[in-house]
Amino acid sequence: MEKVVVGISGGVDSAVAAYLLKKEGYDVIGLFMRNWDQEANNDINGNPNIENNVCPQENDFKDASLVCEKLGIPLYRVDFVKEYWDFVFTYFLNELKKGRTPNPDMLCNKYIKFDKFIEEAKKYGAKYIATGHYANTKDNKLYRAKDLNKDQSYFLADITSSQLTNVLFPLGSLTKPEVREIAKEQGLVVADKKDSTGICFIGERNYQKFVSNYLKKNPGDIINVETKEVIGKHTGLMNYTIGQRRNVGLSGDKDKHYVCGKDVDKNILYVAFGDDNKYLYSDQCLIENINLISDKRLNKCTAKFRYRGEDYPVELEYLDDNKIMVYYKEGVKSVTPGQACVLYDNDECLGCGFISDIYKDGKKLWYI
């Protein structure tokens, strides 16, 4: 009987993944990862925030324990708080300081769930590890899940081919409704549990309030990118992302407006008005810190510039091993520095790079 360690999060997806593997005859062990220290939610003076006194992580562990008890499998707990802080959260803060929009979930997969977790699983003599991700893998390659609405290959695009060795994704051929139905049939307590949303360590908390615990607020001007007029005040560039429309700070303006750029040196937030404003679009970008899972080096493929974004046809120019210029002649709205550009060949996820410079008509955009 092959042994597999399953990452049990306290949610329905990992619970059903564990059930399916046990049903297939694996010797299943559950492992709960503690990645965040609740005291890290204190404010900059070390005082606890009242809204953070209840730790969702502890509630998740209780649910994970109930699931494993129901399935008749052991559950262990491992602490990756230091590693998460060093490899994921520090990166998150550094990217915000640069005016970029980071994707910490991708770093969590790369450095925690498919690195430190694998090391821990080996201590239990496991040949395989498994998670509740919606994705597929074959021959150390990564593919989209059957349920394209829940597909998580985007978030897995920064892991390597070697990290996919002996990894199982039991939910890859299922839809979310099917997963919930299985959980109900098996009487799992998490069958109707709400999916977690947002950045994992922030959860349901107010984003701006959370970030202000770590980065000092630095208000500045909001400027109309077309007229160059000052039209408001922002609360700090780290609180905004390219393409953002809500909570920009122009409450009296009825026209649709979007964040279209940032000047970190001058502390300026640029805003464009109208859904199809030319300042929202670009036609090429430079991506760096390249990770290619596949050995294919295609010149044409498709790309996602954000999770749940659509696939765009692109052409690739390989500048070196760590930089690719991505061309999208149709034009794409709100391509965002710091986010991942994930490359696909039909259903195969080729890998990714992180968006750096953005261009239009061959010129780097001055307002981003």
Q: In terms of domains, do 162 and 245 share one?
A: no
Q: CATH number of the domain that 263 lies in? A: 2.30.30.280
Q: In terms of domains, do 52 and 159 share one?
A: yes
Q: Is the pLDDT of residue 36 over 90?
A: no
Is position 200 annotated as part of the catalytic site?
yes
- pLDDT tens for each residue of 156-182: 999 999 999 999 999 999 999 999 999
Q: Is residue 205 part of a domain?
A: no
- pLDDT tens for each residue of 15-33: 999 999 999 999 999 999 9
Q: In terms of domains, do 347 and 312 share one?
A: yes
Q: In terms of domains, do 15 and 137 share one?
A: yes
Q: CATH number of the domain that 334 lies in? A: 2.40.30.10
* pLDDT of res. 247: 87
Inter-residue long-range contacts of 263-269, CB under 8 Å, 24+ positions, other chains counted: 263/99, 263/367, 264/98, 264/99, 264/237, 266/220, 267/218, 267/220, 267/221, 267/237, 268/220, 268/221, 268/222, 268/223, 269/220, 269/221, 269/222, 269/223, 269/234, 269/237, 269/240
Q: In terms of domains, do 161 and 302 share one?
A: no
Mean pLDDT of 46-55: 48
* pLDDT of res. 210: 87
CA distance 26 to 129: 11
Domains of the chain: total: 3
Of 185, 201, 235, the one marking the end of a domain is 185
Q: Is the pLDDT of residue 205 over 50?
A: yes
Q: In terms of domains, do 77 and 95 share one?
A: yes
Query: Bridge-partner residues for 271, per DSSP?
Result: 224, 259
Q: Is residue 211 part of a domain?
A: no
CA distance 45 to 32: 31
Q: In terms of domains, do 259 and 302 share one?
A: no
Q: In terms of domains, do 255 and 143 share one?
A: no
Q: Which domain holds residue 262?
A: 217-273
Weakest mean pLDDT among 52-66, 272-286, 307-321: 52-66
Q: CATH number of the domain that 155 lies in? A: 3.40.50.620
Catalytic residue among 68, 108, 260, 352: 108
* pLDDT of res. 49: 47
* pLDDT of res. 255: 80
Calculate the CA dihedral of residues 207, 96, 292, 85 and round it to 10 degrees: -70
Average pLDDT over the chain, rounded to an integer: 92
Q: Is residue 209 part of a domain?
A: no
Q: In terms of domains, do 66 and 130 share one?
A: yes
Which of the pair, 247 or 219, is modelled with greater confidence?
A: 219
Q: Is residue 197 part of a domain?
A: no
Q: In terms of domains, do 260 and 295 share one?
A: no
Q: Is residue 150 part of a domain?
A: yes
CA distance 101 to 339: 6
- pLDDT tens for each residue of 61-110: 999 999 999 999 999 999 999 999 999 999 999 999 999 999 999 999 99
* pLDDT of res. 43: 47
Of 225, 244, 273, the one marking the end of a domain is 273
Q: In terms of domains, do 360 and 340 share one?
A: yes
Q: In terms of domains, do 248 and 138 share one?
A: no
Q: Is residue 193 part of a domain?
A: no
Catalytic residue among 55, 68, 200, 352: 200
Q: Is residue 311 part of a domain?
A: yes
CA distance 324 to 318: 5
Q: Is residue 194 part of a domain?
A: no
In percent, the amount of the chain with pLDDT more than 70 equals 92
